[in-house]
C-alpha cells in the first residue's frame, strides 16, 4: 500500500522528468533557430504553373516527375514496355 509520502515522491519524480524534457526541448529549439531573417515570397510564374499543373494528378506524378520541382532520382517505368 502506498503512503502519501511515497505518492508525493513518485509525483515529484514524474514532474521533474517532464520539466527536464521540456528544458531540453527548449534548448534544442533555441539552438537550431535561424539567426538571420527568413525571406519568403511567391514563386516565379513558370514554377507556380508547373506546381499547379501536377497537384491533382495521381501517383507517380505526385512529386511532379520530369519538372524542375520534382525529384530527379525517380525512374518512371511505363507499362507499354512490358511484354505479354
Angstrom distances, CA of residue 26 to CA of 18, 20, 35: 12, 10, 16
Residues 84 and 50 in one domain: yes
Residues 47 and 69 in one domain: yes
pLDDT for 46 equals: 72
pLDDT (tens digit, 9 = 90+) per residue, 17-64? 999 999 999 999 999 887 888 777 776 777 677 667 666 666 655 556
**For cell 534548448, what's the residue?**
27
Residues 19 and 3 in one domain: yes
- Band of the pLDDT at 16, cuts 50, 70, 90? very high
Residues 65 and 31 in one domain: no
Domain count, the chain: 2
- DSSP H helical ranges for the chain: 4-31, 45-53
Instruction: Give the cell for residue 81.
Output: 514496355
- The single-letter DSSP state of residue 75 is -
Q: The pTM is what?
A: 0.42
Domain that holds residue 29: 1-36
CB 41, CB 63: distance < 8 Å: no
76 pLDDT above the threshold of 60: yes
Amino acid at each position: 500500500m502506498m503512503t502519501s509520502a511515497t505518492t508525493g515522491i513518485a509525483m515529484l519524480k514524474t514532474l521533474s522528468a517532464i520539466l527536464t524534457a521540456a528544458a531540453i526541448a527548449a534548448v534544442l529549439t533555441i539552438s537550431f533557430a535561424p539567426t538571420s531573417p527568413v525571406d519568403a515570397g511567391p514563386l516565379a510564374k513558370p514554377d507556380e504553373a508547373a506546381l499547379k499543373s501536377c497537384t491533382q494528378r495521381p501517383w507517380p506524378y505526385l512529386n511532379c516527375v520530369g519538372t524542375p520541382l520534382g525529384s530527379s532520382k525517380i525512374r518512371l517505368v511505363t507499362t507499354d514496355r512490358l511484354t505479354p
